[in-house]
Structure 1
Amino acid sequence: MSKIAIVGAGPAGCSAGYHLAKSGHDVTLIDKQGFPRDKICGDGISIESIQSISTMGIYPHDIRKLASEYAPIHHFFLGVSNRISHSEPTTLEAYCIPRLVFDQLLYERAIDAGCCFLTQSVHKNDWQRQGLLDAFDTIIDARGVSAGEVTAIAIRAYWMVKRQDLSETALAEAQIHFDRSLGVNGYGWIFPVSTQHDLVKLNVGVGVWLDEYQTLNVNVIQLFKQFIQKNKAAQQLLSKVVSQQPPKVFPLATAKKGNKVADGKVLRIGDAANLTDPLTGEGIANAVLSGFYVAQAVNMSRTPAVTAENWQYLYESHFEADLRAGLNIKAFRKFSFMNYLLIWLMKQSPRVAQQVSHAVAGVVPYNEVMASLKY
């Protein structure tokens, strides 16, 4: 069996570590921070993400039993700020979970599978100087966005609201508001992330794509404030807030075409491989699944060169078509009326509403959505 270093202990790294350790490999999981540790993000765990973590033996009943904070999601809301909106219920359950809590669950599963953990900072493309290339047969780069190509910026803040001030729907609804002030593809979100107590925690934020942000000429924190000031749903919520944390900025490495995910003994997964959804910014499902498939590439290969070739093949087979479809839809939405038209169609047709909501939740691949809407 191989001696493997996985650099980065987020969802991608922990998934790869879990599967490789289970396969009998000697796995060292390296991260610059110890656990538990927070990660700034939207905290959304899509239906596809819930399905993906089942490969690590984590199921919804485990989340309800082990997670100290979580919010089951039964409604997906899409809207154009202050103009038109649609909320679609789903029988398939998603979650919103603070990453401080969620990443800890995955980390513990990887350690239980047999991974050894090491706290160490590994600088970008510095494998040789730090001795990793000589010490390990394979290096899996799971360092997240710091190792990928940044294509978007997001801002997140936590708000606390009394449970009695929220409707039952609001306690289980993930809201996405397209907003022209954030660019054609930019959006704001309102997600409940902890609903077990009298005070409910909400994750409120905005996401903007760099190619559009450069034309907005507005400070990114100011964009967040503008969204809060102008969006009626956010304003109504703000009037009920009993405490709030200041907004924090974080980068995203969304999909790009012609992506190479292997370089000799180094295999990139998760955000390091730009596997984040190019439309929603959701990266956990692809991160976890990339850990699963990179383990397959290692297990089916006899040499590092063959491992790299197999991982590139599995990436292209399982991820590239859907990511390309997402990029094409993103380009198609350059016309701002497309967001309005999409939601109008959802309001007119239950079938369209379900298909679009399931695409946002990761149940229906993007490359199947357009074809399915024709029938």
Structure 2
Amino acid sequence: MSKIAVVGADPAGCSAGYHLARSGHDVTLLDKKCFPKDKICGDGISIESIQAVSIMGIYPQDIRKLASDYAPIHRFFLGVSNQIYHSETTKLEAYCIPRLVFDQLLYEKAIDAGCNFMTQTINKNNWHHQGLYDAFDTIIDARGVYAGEVNALAIRAYWTLNRQDLSQKELTEAQIHFDRSLGVNGYGWIFPVSTQQDSIKFNVGVGVWLDEYQKINTNIIQLFKQFIQSNEIVRQMQSKVVSQQPPKVFPLATAKKGNKVADGKILRIGDAANLTDPLTGEGIANAVKSGFHVAQAINMGNSPDAAADNWQYLYESHFEADLRAGLGIKAFRKFSFMNYLLIWLMKQNPRVAQQISHAVAGVVPYNEVIASLRY
């Protein structure tokens, strides 16, 4: 049995803590805030994320029973702002859930598994000064995006509308709008996140990549306002809004090449390891899965060095190929016509539409989608 510190109690940290505690390790879960705590993000829980949290014993029926706010997602919409779009039904169900609700479910699972929880702020990477390095056999860095390499920005706002002003499709559809004003790879989104009452809450936002954002002479809040004003679908929805919260900005640490996830007895997971999807910004699935695999790495190793080698190997085996494929698609989209062509192909070919939608929903990895579209 090892003495392990998991620093950060978001989905990655709670997943690692859960699996390690269940394996018999002495696990201390540290976070700078007490639960329940909110996190600014898009609130999308992909089909892949739903599958990942099932390994922690959280199933769709648990979400429907325990989550106070949630929205089942049955359709995925991809479009180029004001030009072309395609909406595809998925057989499997995804969700949008406010992170205040979702993260609480994972935290409770980790505590029930035997994790000890402490509030403590860990500044930068000074593990020695704060006493953690000598006190624990292994340290799992799950501090999130600020411990990783920030390479994207996003902004979101919550809008509330009346159910009577919305169609059933709008209540169950996650929309992504590619928009050139947000950069080559920039996009906006509309996600329902709470549909169980007469007042319906939506998460509306935009995401931009830093290398593109630096070329745009407009701050991100203004970009968000421009997206709302220029996109016809979003503008129509805004006309029905009965209340809205101020937008909030948050960073993203998306995938990067040549990623090293282990440094001696420090093992990085989730956003701290830049495991966020480089196309959609979805980070929960890989966060939860990285927690499971880092626990495997520790359980299979007989020393901290062996655990570090195991974790680097498991990262390369389970994550790197798909993340590289996503980076390749992102690079290919630098051509201005690619987003339009992608949606056009989806409208023309049902198989292409299904494959692309499944990739966005997290059912099929990007590298498998690319291979399948060749035939």
Deviations 1:259-284 (A, max 9, x none): 00000110000000000000000000
**Which residue identity is paired with 1:259?**
N
Identity of aligned residues (%): 82
SS of the residue corresponding to residue 33 of structure 1 reads: coil
Q: Which residue of 2 aligns with 1:83?
A: 83
List per-residue Cα deviations over 1:8-56 (Å, max 9, x = no partner).
0000000000000000000000000000000000000000000000010
Distance 2:336 2:38 in 1: 35
> 1 CA distance for matches of 2:307 and 2:18?
18
* Per-residue Cα deviation, 1:214-273 (whole angstroms, up to 9, x for no partner): 001111100000000000011000000000001000000000000000001100000000
Q: Distance in 2 between matches of 1:272 and 1:41?
A: 16
Q: Do structure 1's residue 120 and structure 2's residue 120 form an aligned pair? A: yes
TM-score by length of 2: 1.00
**1:186-205 to 2 correspondence within 5 Å?**
186-205=186-205
Deviations 1:193-232 (A, max 9, x none): 0000010000000000001000011111000000000000
2:373 — aligned with what? 373
**SS class of match (1:34):** coil
- Secondary structure at the aligned position of 1:56 is classed as coil
Aligned partner of 1:92 in structure 2 is 92
Within 5 Å, give how 1:9-28 maps onto structure 2. Answer: 9-28=9-28
Distance in 1 between residues matched to 2:370 and 2:276, nearest whole Å: 20
Deviations 1:286-309 (A, max 9, x none): 000000000000000011111100
- Residue identity matched to 2:278: P
Residue 274 of structure 2 is matched in structure 1 by: 274
Residue in 1 aligned with 2:230? Answer: 230
SS of the residue 2:168 aligns to: coil
Kindly tell me the number of residue pairs found equivalent between the two proteins.
375
User: Could you say which residue in structure 1 is the equivalent of 2:185?
Assistant: 185
In structure 2, the partner of 1:355 is: 355
Task: Say whether 1:74 aligns with 2:79.
Answer: no
Query: How far off its partner does 1:374 sit?
Result: 1.9
Alignment-mate amino acid for residue 368 of structure 2: E
Which ranges in structure 1 are unaligned for 5 or more consecutive residues?
A: none
- Paired amino acid for 1:330: K
Alignment partner, residue 254 of structure 2: 254
Q: Which runs of 5+ in 2 are unaligned?
A: none
SS at match of 2:49: helix
Distance 2:13 2:137 in 1: 16
Equivalent residue number for residue 345 of structure 1:
345
| Alignment-mate amino acid for residue 343 of structure 2 | I
Give the CA deviation at 1:2.
0.2
What does 1:154-165 correspond to in 2, within 5 Å? 154-165=154-165
Pair 1:109-2:109 in alignment: yes
Q: Name the SS of the counterpart of 1:61 in structure 2.
A: helix
Supply the AA of the counterpart residue of 2:11.
P
User: 2-side partners of 1:163 and 1:140: how far apart?
Assistant: 44
Q: Which residue identity does 2:183 align to in structure 1?
A: G
Q: Give, in whole Å, the separation in 1 of the partners of 2:140 and 2:217.
A: 37
* Cα distance, 1:336 vs structure 2: 1.5
Distance 2:206 2:130 in 1: 37
Q: Distance in 2 between matches of 1:30 and 1:195?
A: 33
AA of the residue aligned to 1:324: R
Q: CA deviation at 1:368?
A: 1.1
RMSD value, Cα? 0.4
* Runs of 4 or more consecutive aligned structure 1 residues displaced over 6 Å after TM superposition: none
Partner of 2:173: 173
